[in-house]
Structure 1
Amino acid sequence: MLGAIQARFSSAARRRRGEFLVRTVNLPLNARILDLGGGTGRHIRAILPFHTDITVCDISAEDLKTARERFGFKSVLLQETERLPFDDQAFDFCFCSSVIEHVTGPKQDVVTIASDADFLNVAREHQNRFAGEISRVAKSFYVQTPYRYFPIESHTWLPGVIVLLPRRLQISLIELFNRFWFKRTTPDWHLFDWREMTETFPNAKIYRERYLGMTKSLMAIKA
């Protein structure tokens, strides 16, 4: 039951954000588009159904196979490296949705960092580099990420207070809830607040996605 509610809630939010993107950014049909971390490409296809020059870049070879076979997209398998495998300004537009909060370093390392300060330093270093790569490879971009202080934390669907707990306790709680809770995750994410988003994307305009009057996610758009 909760899983179905979460899926409908997330789908509706993605649809609203997609409609906002289309209203905000005017992309010609021949635009070269990079869907960074786009998985199967289903999301970008729903938002931009008539664009054809789309390259999906992801760490999942299986998802990329679906993107090629179902939607005819080009695909690039992404490794955990510091640099994206594209030339400068190779794309007219980069779409990156609910990805940057996970770009916190090699997963096998960061999930075991129990120190709040150490995790924050490592995570923000990698996220800033990732943001720089987006600006390097694309002339314009859309980067969306869940807001740090929304009442429901999006990766666990637990009360948002979990983001305020010491990291050591966060890790323990996630491990505990992963045993029986419908929403499972690994503690590799660092959510953005407004200040971090504006500092990470100084050449973009930052928008709030609101739900019931509260900020649900942040969107950095360079048009």
Structure 2
Amino acid sequence: MGPNRLRYRLVDSDQSWSARRRRHRSDWLARTFPDICDMHVVDLGGRLGTWHRSTVRPARVTVVNLEQPPAVVPEWAHVEQADACDLPPHLTKGSYDLVFSNSVLEHVGGHERRIRFAAAARSLADRHWVQTPYRYFPIEPHWIAPGMQFLPVRLRTAFARRWPLGHKPTRSHDAAIHQVLWTELLDRSQMRHYFPDSTMLVERVFGLPKSLIAVRTG
């Protein structure tokens, strides 16, 4: 089996192991916020695909992402091209029931921007659900590579250029080091620092912490 096919079966397919984990997390979100179907949710750094695939869908979703908005947006959604660490006033003044973020905090670009991202998540609504992969899970989730997150930058960059299961395959040094430097997994102490008033949930796989979720229910 080739690497592209293997990644598809492990991560990208709707029937993949990762897809099953996403559905499990979606169900967990629904149990935590049982009235989510009536909520206006602001998704910081996400994509509409998350909500198309979700087992539950809010009444209204506002997605904030640096990417260009898609050409077609369903009537229940609104997409804003904006920086979640530096939100424009019309977004900070919006009325939201829940802030949601999935696997974004590790990509925002360093400690100072994580502080700003977390401040936005805490201020936009009384409730939030902010998930990020756990640094000490043995498999680095973006490259599906054992222990890659513990290597020096030089070795991670070389690894990213050659490892066939990466989320964005690249052969150039500049592209690889860009991906590596924009991916910084967090541990529990960091998450508690960014979300001091939140409950910290732990998603486990085979008994090992796989991701951390900062939750405030109101």
Q: TM-score, normalised on structure 1?
A: 0.80
* Residue of structure 1 equivalent to 2:204: 210
- 2: distance between equivalents of 1:96 and 1:82? 13
* Residue of structure 2 equivalent to 1:94: 99
SS of 2:139 mapped into structure 1: coil
Give, in angstroms, the shift of residue 18 of structure 1: 0.9
- Residue 83 (1) aligns with residue 72 (2): no
SS of 1:202 mapped into structure 2: coil
User: Contact 2:131 / 2:212 at 8 angstroms: preserved in 1?
Assistant: yes
Structure 1 segment 88-167 matched on structure 2, within 5 A: 88=93, 90-104=95-109, 123-159=110-146, 161-167=147-153
SS of 2:27 mapped into structure 1: helix
User: Contact 2:108 / 2:114 at 8 angstroms: preserved in 1?
Assistant: yes
Q: 1:5 aligns with which of 6, 9, 15?
A: 9
- 2: distance between equivalents of 1:102 and 1:144? 12
The ranges of structure 1 where at least 4 consecutive aligned residues each deviate by more than 3 angstroms after the TM superposition are none
Give, in angstroms, the shift of residue 216 of structure 1: 0.9
Distance 1:11 1:28, change over 3 A: closer
Give, in angstroms, the shift of residue 191 of structure 1: 0.5
Unaligned residue ranges in structure 1 (runs of 5+): 105-122
Give, in angstroms, the shift of residue 92 of structure 1: 1.2
- 2: distance between equivalents of 1:28 and 1:16? 16
User: Contact 1:56 / 1:73 at 8 angstroms: preserved in 2?
Assistant: yes
SS of 1:91 mapped into structure 2: coil
SS of 2:43 mapped into structure 1: strand
User: Contact 1:33 / 1:92 at 8 angstroms: preserved in 2?
Assistant: yes
User: Contact 1:89 / 1:139 at 8 angstroms: preserved in 2?
Assistant: no
- 1: distance between equivalents of 2:194 and 2:122? 11
- 2: distance between equivalents of 1:148 and 1:222? 22
SS of 2:189 mapped into structure 1: helix
Structure 1 segment 49-64 matched on structure 2, within 5 A: 49=57, 51-62=58-69, 64=70
- 2: distance between equivalents of 1:206 and 1:13? 18
- 2: distance between equivalents of 1:28 and 1:95? 11
- 2: distance between equivalents of 1:216 and 1:28? 24
- 1: distance between equivalents of 2:71 and 2:20? 26
Give, in angstroms, the shift of residue 166 of structure 1: 1.5
2:41 maps to a residue whose letter is I
SS of 1:48 mapped into structure 2: coil
Unaligned residue ranges in structure 2 (runs of 5+): 169-178
Task: Count residues with an aligned counterpart.
Answer: 195
Q: TM-score, normalised on structure 2?
A: 0.81
2:166 maps to a residue whose letter is K
- 2: distance between equivalents of 1:26 and 1:72? 19
1:183 maps to a residue whose letter is G
Give, in angstroms, the shift of residue 156 of structure 1: 0.7
